[in-house]
Amino acid sequence: MTKQIEFGVVGLGRMGGGLALQALEKKMKVVGFNKGPINDELKKAGLAPVESLTGFKDKLRNPRIIFLYIPAGPPVDDVLDQLANVLENGDILVDGGNSYWGDSLRRHEKLKEKGLEFIDLGTSGGVDGARNGACFMAGGEDAVIAKVEPILKALAVKNGYVHAGPPSSGHFTKLVHNGIEFGMLQAIGEGMNLLEEFRFPVDIKEVLKCWGHGSVIRSWLIDLMEKSYREEGGMQSIPAYVEDTGEVNWLVNDALHMEVPVPVIAQSVMQLFLSRDDKKHWSRAIAMMRHGFGGHPYGNDESVRKERREGQINPYPAQVRS
Rounded to 10 deg, the angle between the 169-197 and 247-258 helix axes is 110
Check if the beta carbon of residue 60 is closer than 8 Å to that of residue 31: yes
- Nearest by Cα to 107 from 87, 92, 86, 124: 92
If one counts every other C-beta atom within 10 angstroms of the C-beta of residue 202, the result is 13
CB atoms within 10 A of CB 281: 8
Q: Which of the residues 181, 205, 209, 227 is marked catalytic?
A: 181
> Is 51 marked active-site?
no
The reply to whether 174 belongs to the active site is yes
Residue of 117, 174, 226, 247 marked catalytic:
174
Nearest to 121 by CA among 75, 68, 157: 68
Dihedral-angle region of residue 291 (phi above 0 means left; psi in -120 to 50 means alpha; beta otherwise): alpha
Contact criterion met (CB below 8 Å) for 147 and 179 = no
| Catalytically active residues, by annotation | 174, 181
